[in-house]
Structure 1
Amino acid sequence: MTPALHTVVKVCGLTRLADARVAREAGADWLGFVLNGDGPRRIAAERAAEIVAAVPGPVAVAVLVGPHPDEALRLAALASAERLQLHRVDPSSWPEDFPLPVSFAIPVAADGSIIEPLPSERHLVLLDSAHPSLPGGTGESFPWETARIVAASRPVLLAGGLDGDNVAAAIERVLPYGVDASSRLESAPGIKDELRVRRFVAAVRASDERRDAGS
């Protein structure tokens, strides 16, 4: 019997325990915590660890911008994170023997061109909209055709302007390994809207069910 389809759902930019609980209850697989930088979604690693301990089940992802590998490992350990998501890091410079799974965020321009080199196929690729100053969480989308081409040969985590209204269409177009949303699920920067989170996850699961029924 063919196993049921399951698109990984990541809710990113969490800063509050209540929001993490909503994400888990809705069925999110991964919870993302921004551990460095100066944006509104940054959370102290120690506080992230408290939330992770209080919300067991989903995979905790440490989201970091331009870290040194040693600093990345230190912050991930402090946050009790099981994975890393790295922005503005050259994949070729990252240690091959790094002890945690790593997703490399690769920006995609508005015309669909990929701005930075893709990592080796052993790493998960997160495709997100390019922005001149923001590493992520822009709320803007990019041409999904680019992601579809990349996802045809390797696992892709699709980000960039996703919400409950468009994520099903994105999944059906790209067939990604997973989807990632942050700013479009918020009522204010760093504050998740419960209804938007639940609608986002529900739309992903409904898309999986439709594709599973048609397979």
Structure 2
Amino acid sequence: MSAGAERWIDPERRHRTIVKVCGLTRLQDAHAARRAGADWLGFVVHGDSPRLVRPEVASNILTTLPGAVGVAVMVGVGPDEALALARRADAKRVQLHRVDPATWPADFPLPAVFAVPVTAEGLLAAPLPPAPHLVLLDADDPLRAGGTGRRVPWDAAREVAAARPTLLAGGLDGTCVEEALEAVRPAGVDASSRLESSPGIKDHAAVAAFVAAVRRWDARQPARS
């Protein structure tokens, strides 16, 4: 991982897989994710989603979790709006869907994760952002930006993850994430819909199983200096 990319990843997370639980809407679900050991908590604060919450809701939840890394997830926004939404949410990072990374300012003050959809044939449906921004690979869907529950072709994802820090999303849960990690070896994994009992409502047992599976895989890996 390049030094430029490393500055966008929490130093204490560089040597283990980042776990992001996304689509949070309720205080008790965010607390369950933190208890399970999730590193990043994702809140959809802009876009057409059943998991959409007002930024202030995310802020209220995050203030009860000192040290939590909140990620403000948004669709089709410009830099000014993205920063304003993230500030209102008290988020430390932004995750951008359907945003052209070429238009994003290099001096944007918050770390950004750019979502890149991947087709069923393994083709990238959007350009990769420039370094040091993180890449989020998720299943391509013309109607929904994330939360589809469908897998990304892992062979295509591995090619991207081998070249730069990448978060893998798409159909992940505790039953398959170890296999995904072995196949792709991303910097992190992101799950939402497969951890739910209904849209926006997390199944706490599924969240715990997801995080535990990631940590089992981490524990089997050689120590990294």
* CA distance in 2: counterparts of 1:4 and 1:89, whole angstroms: 26
Q: How much has 1:56 moved relative to structure 2?
A: 2.0
* CA distance in 2: counterparts of 1:213 and 1:118, whole angstroms: 30
In the alignment, is residue 173 of structure 1 matched against residue 183 of structure 2?
yes
In the alignment, is residue 89 of structure 1 matched against residue 84 of structure 2?
no
* CA distance in 2: counterparts of 1:113 and 1:8, whole angstroms: 24
Cα pair 2:170 2:191 within 8 Å, conserved = yes
Structure 2 residue matching 1:85: 3-state secondary structure: strand
Structure 2 residue matching 1:164: 3-state secondary structure: coil
Q: How much has 1:58 moved relative to structure 2?
A: 2.5
Corresponding residue for 1:15?
A: 25
Corresponding residue for 2:46?
A: 36
Corresponding residue for 1:50?
A: 60
Corresponding residue for 1:191?
A: 201
In the alignment, is residue 129 of structure 1 matched against residue 139 of structure 2?
yes
- Percent identity over the alignment? 61
* CA distance in 1: counterparts of 2:93 and 2:68, whole angstroms: 11
Q: How much has 1:212 moved relative to structure 2?
A: 3.2
Q: How much has 1:195 moved relative to structure 2?
A: 0.4
* CA distance in 1: counterparts of 2:122 and 2:142, whole angstroms: 15
Structure 2 residue matching 1:212: 3-state secondary structure: coil
* CA distance in 1: counterparts of 2:18 and 2:224, whole angstroms: 19
Q: How much has 1:5 moved relative to structure 2?
A: 4.1
Kindly tell me the number of residue pairs found equivalent between the two proteins.
213
What residue ranges of structure 1 are gaps of 5+ in the alignment? none
Cα pair 1:128 1:158 within 8 Å, conserved = yes
* CA distance in 1: counterparts of 2:43 and 2:224, whole angstroms: 35
In the alignment, is residue 160 of structure 1 matched against residue 170 of structure 2?
yes
* CA distance in 2: counterparts of 1:65 and 1:170, whole angstroms: 26
Structure 1 residue matching 2:94: 3-state secondary structure: strand
Alignment of 1:140-159 (within 5 A): 140-159=150-169
Displaced runs of 4 or more, over 2 A:
212-215
In the alignment, is residue 109 of structure 1 matched against residue 119 of structure 2?
yes
Q: How much has 1:38 moved relative to structure 2?
A: 3.1
Cα pair 1:111 1:142 within 8 Å, conserved = no
Corresponding residue for 2:220?
A: 210
* CA distance in 1: counterparts of 2:163 and 2:124, whole angstroms: 15
Task: Read off the aligned partner of 1:127 and give its amino acid letter.
Answer: L
TM-score by length of 1: 0.96
Q: How much has 1:213 moved relative to structure 2?
A: 6.8
Coordinate RMSD, CA, aligned: 1.6
Structure 2 residue matching 1:157: 3-state secondary structure: strand
In the alignment, is residue 99 of structure 1 matched against residue 109 of structure 2?
yes
Task: Read off the aligned partner of 1:95 and give its amino acid letter.
Answer: P
Q: How much has 1:39 moved relative to structure 2?
A: 1.7
Task: Read off the aligned partner of 1:25 and give its amino acid letter.
Answer: R
Cα pair 1:5 1:212 within 8 Å, conserved = no
In the alignment, is residue 118 of structure 1 matched against residue 157 of structure 2?
no
Distance 1:49 1:4, change over 3 A: closer
In the alignment, is residue 61 of structure 1 matched against residue 86 of structure 2?
no
Q: How much has 1:119 moved relative to structure 2?
A: 0.7
Task: Read off the aligned partner of 1:6 and give its amino acid letter.
Answer: R
